[in-house]
Amino acid sequence: MALAGSKTAPDIAGPGSAEVDVIVQYADVPGEAHHRRAAGKGARLKKRMDQGNSALYSIRRADVAALEADADIVYISPDRPVRAFLDYAQPTVGAAIAKSYGWTGKGVGVAVIDSGIWRHPDLNGSDLMSNIVYSEDFTALGSANDYFGHGTHVTGVLAGNGAIGTSVGAFKTFLGVAQDVNIVNLRVLDSKGSGSDSAVIAAIDRAIALKSTYNIRVINLSLGRPVYEGHSKDPLCQAVARAWKAGIVVVAAAGNYGRNNLSGNSGYATITSPGNHPLVITVGAVKTMGTASRVDDVIASYSSKGPTLGDGTIKPDLVAPGNRLIAASSTSGTLQQEAPGNYVDRSYFMTGLSGPSIWYFRLSGTSMAAPMVSGAAALLLQKTPSLTPDQVKARLMKTATKSFPASSTAVDPPTGQTFVSQHDIFTVGAGHLDVWGALNNTDLTPATNGAARSPQAVYDSKSKKVTPVTSSSAIWGADSIWSNSAIWGAQILSGSSAIWGASAIWGASTTKGFSAIWGAADLSGSSAIWGAAGTGGTSAIWGATTPATGVLLLGEN
């Protein structure tokens, strides 16, 4: 944020002789003249990205300043790395009731942009024919199969039909939220769970292009990266905005950095991109506590919290089960090879048998919570195909349950470290996903694009309070039906546990105070949260101290 107003992203700096891949956003679709001018500045064209008025170039860092001088260029950012974010869940959110009434997402297309999908028997819909209708690889590895093991699990949470359990007479099956959706498999992550902005953007644009062919109404993004600039400049955010405006609901994982306290921020302001965009549905993770009731559910301590860095947008939008979820497993995934203890023992779902089953795997993270919401969106669109993305988002948020405790405590088993989580608006958003409640809601927001845009949090330094402020086109606060308290609930907005209390991160006792979120000059912008200065760059989040994949393999935390 210290470089606000510059046309070059703050994280592009480095040795002048080193080459870097950059995404260059132009005011209009760049033509050959633009590419020739860029070449004259030392840039080599790698990929045209016309849907976003952009192009991917390779250039020496020392030459970026000369490239920026082109008056037609709006913004230059690195081609940043993105990562994946890592049995009672389905009935907990009310999906089992929805299925009993015939709502299974049939006919609705969902694009899963992830590490690919292995053709697991559980992904064959109710007619036992594969519901993976299209696959494409954006990693240049030549296959859309899942060699990481993340995309298959995400798709199982979204659309698993429990076929393996049924075929062996198991007393328990593992069902997804919307078993009959048409799955569009767009692979952007490699066998280690890594990808790039440009690959994700290309996949999003492909989903938009295929929308009519496969009735793609939902995109699931269980991946992300740190925020380096506001959403209006971030090329990944611009891509999800294009999809939203094209009539596709975009669901993004909030991120797994709720324990990050590098700048004394207690995990606040760690929402990742593109979940920081105000239009998309950003999803945090809760623990089901091993019951089918939502009453005892609490936030997972690793779930990233808002507001968004720099923009101050209130996120996440809602939360869903994401801890230790059981779903379809890839038989050749890196995750499965590195964490075989996460295979589900057959005794858990079969009588008289024991030993690990290669068919099912446990994973934790907001990656697992996001497809639950994507599945819910598909059910709403099956029932009422005319709903716009904003109307889907508004119904899901308004009907979310809000019966959380004031706070909860989790202990990390390996380290014994204790984490206390407040259940405020920046932690649980509008509340806990309630599929059945959303299906029974008939309220309609205006069809205007952006009607359910997530509001900004505005801080009053005198009263030390934060209030949600909406744009003139947004519905929140407009009337009693869509008022702030109707969406978020009084307890989450202004209860005694709210984070704008005197001892919280906004308050007088905090050393960094308000600047810890908004990145004042003394904090060097986003580095205050992600540790870019003094901690070895982004290694504070993605490096040796955290799993190389960015996927959390957690216990009950």
Q: Give the rounded percent of residues in the chain with a pLDDT score beyond 70.
A: 81
Residue the block writes with tokens 């400049």: 233
Which of the four pLDDT bands, split at 50, 70 and 90, describes residue 484?
confident
- Cβ(113)–Cβ(223) below 8 Å: yes
Active-site annotation holds for 367: yes
Q: What is the pTM of this model?
A: 0.86
Largest pairwise CA distance in the chain: 71
Active-site annotation holds for 150: yes
Q: Supply the pLDDT for residue 498.
A: 42
Residue 531 has pLDDT above 60, yes or no: no
How many helices and strands (H and E) does the chain possess? 19, 22
**Alpha-carbon span 91 to 399, nearest angstrom:** 16
pLDDT in tens, 501-517: 333 344 333 333 344 45
Phi/psi at 318 (5° precision):
-160, 175
Q: Alpha helix locations (H) across 272-356?
A: 334-338
Which of the four pLDDT bands, split at 50, 70 and 90, describes residue 526?
very low
Q: Supply the pLDDT for residue 92.
A: 55
CATH superfamily name and code, 10-79 = Peptidase S8 propeptide/proteinase inhibitor I9 (3.30.70.80)
Q: Supply the pLDDT for residue 509.
A: 32
Measuring CA to CA, which residue among 503, 529, 504, 507 is closest to residue 516?
529
Residue the block writes with tokens 């009519």: 212
Residue 234, both tokens: 């971030």
CATH superfamily name and code, 83-435 = Peptidase S8/S53 domain (3.40.50.200)
The residue count of the chain comes to 557
Phi/psi at 333 (5° precision):
-80, 150
Q: Sign of dihedral through CA atoms 125, 244, 199, 334?
A: negative
Domain limits of the chain? 10-79, 83-435
Residue 359 has pLDDT above 70, yes or no: yes
What Å distances lie between residue 363 and 336, 369, 373, 473, 528, CA to CA? 10, 11, 17, 39, 29
- Cβ(445)–Cβ(451) below 8 Å: yes
- Cβ(439)–Cβ(379) below 8 Å: yes
Neighbours of 355 (CB within 10 A): 8
- For residue 453, how far is the Cα from the chain centroid? 16
Active-site annotation holds for 234: no
Q: Which of 34, 120, 150, 423 is catalytic?
A: 150
pLDDT in tens, 211-258: 999 999 999 999 999 999 999 999 999 999 999 999 999 999 999 999
Neighbours of 130 (CB within 10 A): 14
Query: Rg for the chain (alpha carbons), in Å?
Result: 22
Q: Which of 115, 222, 263, 367 is catalytic?
A: 367
Q: Give the rounded percent of residues in the chain with a pLDDT score beyond 90.
A: 50
Q: Which of 114, 122, 197, 390 is catalytic?
A: 114
Residue 520 has pLDDT above 60, yes or no: no
